[in-house]
Structures are given as C-alpha cells and as structure tokens.
Structure 1
Amino acid sequence: MDEFLKSKAMMTPGVAGAVTTMITGTLVSQFGLPGNWTGLVVSLLLGLVVWIDKSVAVHHRIIYYLINSMTIYAVAIGVNTAGMAISYSSEPVSDPPAIERNVPPEPERFFQEWFRR
C-alpha cells in the first residue's frame, strides 16, 4: 500500500482512470458537460497526487504528472468506450422505434460518446 501513492507506481493511474470515468460519466449525464474536456480536467486533477511524493526531484515530478495525467485520461477513455460498446450492443435491433410503441424516452446513459462532432 505504501507504493500506491508513489509517483513511479503505475497502479495509481489505472485506478484513477476508472475513478475519472465514474466522475466524468456522472457529470456528463447529469449536467450535460462535454465529456472530453471534463475527463481531461478530472484526470489532471487526479494526477496532482504525484506532488505528494517529496522524494523525487521537482523536474521529475512534472514529467510524472504529465505522463500519469495522460495515462489516467487514456484509461478513462478506454473504459468509457468499452462501456459504450457493451451498453449499445445489448440494445434490441428488431424493436420498433419508441415513438411507435408509445414509450417515454430513456434517460441519459452513463457511458456516452465523449468526442461528439
């Protein structure tokens, strides 16, 4: 557990990536924020954990901060994309549209496209 918050640990960005996905997914689905920028800001904030480790030189912490933050962001994008693929693959294809069935629209999904055009 001591190594978990060290700047050189690679488990920290992986766990932080999953946390970033949860936080970003919640903010995007509840408040309609843009997923790509929200995820980036959250990953940069969680990357600040590198500054706890005082045993590493400042210039190395800057490098670790950038690398860890981008790793966190990449993991978050991957988890979100995998969640979207699983969510959308389970939709029935042969059902008529919701308008024809007189069904209210579904609430916003947790996993969403973060890079909408």
Structure 2
Amino acid sequence: MEPNVPSKTELQFQANEGRPVTQDEASPIASVESTITERGPIKGGPAATAQSLHDRQQNFLEKAGDVARKPADEVTQEDAAQVQKAEARAVGGPLGKGSTSADVQSIAAENEKAGRV
C-alpha cells in the first residue's frame, strides 16, 4: 500500500484555511520521503514544506501569545506589525477583516488615539 503523502499545494491550502500543520503530520511525511529516497527527506519537498509551515504557525502563535499576555492598553503599533507579519507568513498570504492581526491593529490604533502608548 502506497503511503499518502500530501502535496506541497495541499499543505499550503491547509495553512491558507488556517488549519495547523502539526509535528505529528510533518514527521511521517519526512519518514515516507526518507523511505522512498533512501537518503532522507527531499529538499524543498512536502516534508520540508510541512515543517516550514509548522514552524511559521508556531512563530505566529508565539507572537500573538506574547501580545495577548500584555495589558490591552499597552498594545502598540509595533506589536500589531509583528503579529501581522507572523500571521501573514503562517497563512501564506494576505489577511482579511476578522484576522487576529486586524484585532491587534484595532487595539493598537485605539491606544495610540487615546495617547496610552
């Protein structure tokens, strides 16, 4: 039976939909590639894509978590920019209304307008 290895496109689509790529998904892909090639994962292949997406998603969660732990009246435009950059990388494209970044930007703008930061 041929193992099911998602394509790079399928993995990117998953990320674009906001579904995380877990380490439990990335590791078996690398294992299958290693078995197929007998040399290890394929450079730029599905395993590398899965790992990269996983790492970018974890970076976004870390940045968003750092900002979420701050008091709301201390959220700055710089915080909003960092979250936006990390979220855009995590999903692989532009962000729309209702994104985490949009919410952080709104809070930061309100703080700036009120002279809190």
TM-score by length of 1: 0.31
TM-score, normalized by length of structure 2? Answer: 0.31
